[in-house]
Amino acid sequence: MSERSKAYAEAMLAVAKAEGYLADVEDDLFRFARTVEANDELLLALTNRNLPTERRLAVVEDLMGGKALATSVALASMVVAAGRAGELGEIVDEFVAAAAAERDQEVAEVRSAIPLTDEQITRLTAALSAATGKAVEVKLVVDPHVLGGLVARLGDLVIDGTVRHRLDQLKEQI
């Protein structure tokens, strides 16, 4: 994690706290960052410096407008306008981790092929907290690539129960 990413994350944290929508901004930016990471063409468009800034910001507005807080759109636009869209995932991860740390929690990035219900997220949070001995905040990413099951990543700890992981293990065995 670079110092610059930390600086951007701290700025995001300060703005979100100042606006009073820290949790919502976290969710908005986390989903946006995961969406950009999963789409190579979108990432290429946002990081293309030959593309006018207005066009890149228009892409951000199209993706987040109406579905996210204005603060979240403004923060994402700031990163893209600064030409740091390639580091957006890293910056948002740092921001989410810093926000969780404010609540004495650790972020667990959980990927699933289908959305989870609130009740499932609550039980998963409790299970992960029990497994790690820490207060865990689950950030869910819907990722069809995992095919089925769940994978949770807490810092360096990875608990993988996805069908994709089992297929990879099977491939190694073959």
The residue among 97, 115, 119 whose CA lies nearest residue 106 is 97
Q: Phi, psi (5° rounding) for residue 18?
A: -65, -35
Smaller CB separation from another protein, 7 or 157: 157
**Which residues, 6+ apart, have CB-to-CB distance to 86 below 8 Å?**
43, 47
- Quote the least distance from Cβ 95 to another protein, whole Å: 26
CB closer to another protein, 46 vs 150: 150
Nearer to another protein, 47 or 129 (CB): 129
Rounded CA separation 77/56 (Å): 8
In the complex, which residues of this chain contact another protein (CB under 8 A)? 112-114, 116, 120, 123-124, 126-133, 147-150, 152, 159, 161, 163, 167-168, 170-171, 174
d(CA 80, CA 87): 9
Q: Closest distance between another protein and the C-beta of residue 155, in Å?
A: 16
**Shortest distance (Å) from residue 69 CB to another protein:** 29
Q: Which is nearer to another protein, 84 or 166 (CB)?
A: 166
Separation CA 165–CA 174 (nearest Å): 14
